Amino acid sequence: MENFHLPPTSLTPEVSLNPAQGLLSMRGESYPEHVLTFYAPILEKIKHVLDAGKLNLLKVDMHITYYNSASAKAFHRIFHLLNHAAENGCAVQLFWHFDEEDDMARDLGKDIREDFPAIQVVGVEMAAAV
Would you state the torsion angle of the CA atoms of residues 61, 66, 68, 73, taken in this order, to the nearest 10 degrees?
Answer: 10
pLDDT the model gives residue 105 = 81
Closest CA to 124 of 64, 66, 67: 64
Whole-prediction pTM value? 0.91
Domain ranges of the chain: 4-126
How does pLDDT run along the chain (130 residues), one tens digit per residue? 789 999 999 999 999 999 999 999 999 999 999 999 999 999 999 999 999 988 999 999 999 988 999 999 999 999 999 999 999 999 999 999 988 888 888 888 889 999 999 999 998 988 765 5
103-115 helix and 69-87 helix, angle to the nearest 10 degrees = 30
CA–chain centroid gap for 75, Å, is 6
Q: Which residues, 6 or more positions from 106, have their beta carbon under 8 angstroms from its beta carbon?
A: 98, 123, 125
CATH number, domain 4-126: 3.30.750.24
Following DSSP, what letter does each residue of 26-86 receive, concatenated? EEEEE--SSHHHHHHHHHHHHHHHHHTT--SEEEEEEEEEEE-HHHHHHHHHHHHHHHHHH
pLDDT tens per residue, range 45-69: 999 999 998 899 999 999 998 899 9
